[in-house]
Amino acid sequence: MACTISVIYLISTTLVLCVSANYNNINQPSAYEALEEYKFPAGLLPRGATGYSLNRETGEFSAYLNGSCSFTLENSYELRYKPVIKGVISEGRLQKLSGVSVKVVVLWLNIVEVKRENENLEFSVGFTSANFPVRNFKDCPQCGCGLDCDRLHKSWSSS
């Protein structure tokens, strides 16, 4: 009898934990929504982020993509994302970034910090930085074609 009660208790505890874990995952905001909670546009991440982890006390985060990702923006900036992007986030500031790089002329440089200053984002590679309007990042780029996917698909289909 005691053994049966123990088994029932173990099963019910396991079910409660599983349901609770699933409930928390369902209610967890997406990686894009989490960025927006910290005053960043969703378009800082490419489409298809599979998840993220965030320690709200320390700001340490990791965002997960389904593999590596690269694309060109505005015919001049080549960006490359690793499958895991890490850093520390606070309102209006991403620092200690790893996993995102930009091609400048012939060199690939790691983007190490992003700051929001009103309606501009400042991207730093350590020794220099560049500013862009926040509105440029309202849409999420897609791996392979960036923000020009429709135009590229139309040119492929008309060939």
- Please give the Cα distance from 128 to 124 (Å, whole number): 6
Per residue in 32-83, pLDDT tens? 999 999 999 999 999 999 999 999 999 999 999 999 999 998 777 899 999 9
Cβ count within 10 A of residue 21: 10
25 band by pLDDT with thresholds 50, 70 and 90: low
Q: State which residues form the domain around 107.
A: 31-157
CATH code: domain of residue 78: 2.30.240.10
Mean pLDDT for 118-135 is 95
What is the pTM assigned to this prediction? 0.76
State how many domains the chain has: 1
pLDDT at 132: 93
What SS3 class is residue 60? strand
Vertex 29: Cα angle to 132 and 125 (nearest 5): 30
What is the chain's mean pLDDT, rounded? 82
Q: Is residue 21 part of a domain?
A: no
65, 49 Cβ separation under 8 angstroms = yes
Q: Is residue 132 part of a domain?
A: yes
Per residue in 57-66, pLDDT tens? 999 999 999 9
In whole angstroms, what separates CA 82 from the centre of its chain?
Answer: 11
**C-alpha dihedral over 114, 46, 67, 70, to 10 degrees?**
-80
